[in-house]
Amino acid sequence: MSFEWLYDWLPVTFYYLMATLLLLANLTAWVSILFLVPGNWIMVLLSALFYAFMPGQENSGISLTVLLIAVALAGLGELVEMLGGSAGAAKKGASRRAMILSLLGTFFLSVIGAMVGTPFLPPFGTVLGAVLGGSVGAYIGAYLGEVWKGNETVDRYEIGRAAFVGRILGVVGKMAIGVIILVMITIDSFI
């Protein structure tokens, strides 16, 4: 009995199995954005490994162009997330101090929020703690920055609220960019 068909079938099947595993790993990396993990960069890294070690099958496989676009998008996602709270505060006329303290508050309270939220409702407590903690940190940082500068109380609340909303929108923006990366790489690896 001849098994030549197996030699033709096996490499193609293995390729698509690996592409499916890449999709699942990238989907997990995308969800990890909620846990303060740089999921977009993990998707880029996994896709670069796939590009390097998995030869394409007849016009399929991740192209270098798509990989470079994914790198640019991952950088943009980090920028959107990082500047979300500060940009929201800046839109309301926040001082430079308020924007810097908003960034610092976002970082520290995101980490604290994730740690505090984890025991109460894992894994959702971690996500809520990180996102809400970061947003509250943006609010507190912007508010304290305006107190330090001596701005009016009404302005402080408005600027803090804008930083809070901006931080949430920053995370949503980073996740939206992550969806673009995920879809782009998945299509390129399968087609």
Note the pLDDT tens digit of each residue in 46-99.
999 999 888 765 667 899 999 999 999 999 998 898 788 778 888 888 888 888
What is the rounded CA–CA span in Å between residue 107 and residue 148?
20
3-state secondary structure of 86: helix
Residue 67: what pLDDT?
95
Give pTM, 2 decimals.
0.78
Amino acid at 161: R
Residue 70: what pLDDT?
97
pLDDT tens per residue across span 86-110: 788 888 888 888 888 888 888 778 7
What is the rounded CA–CA span in Å between residue 121 and residue 136?
19
Task: Outline where 118-152 has alpha helix (H).
Answer: 124-149
Tokens coding 15: 């390729």
> Across residues 17-32, what is the average pLDDT?
94
Whether the per-residue pLDDT at 7 is higher than 70: the answer is no
- Contact partners, residue 76, CB within 8 Å, separation at least 6: 177
Amino acid at 131: V
pLDDT tens per residue across span 139-175: 888 888 888 888 766 578 888 888 888 888 988 999 9
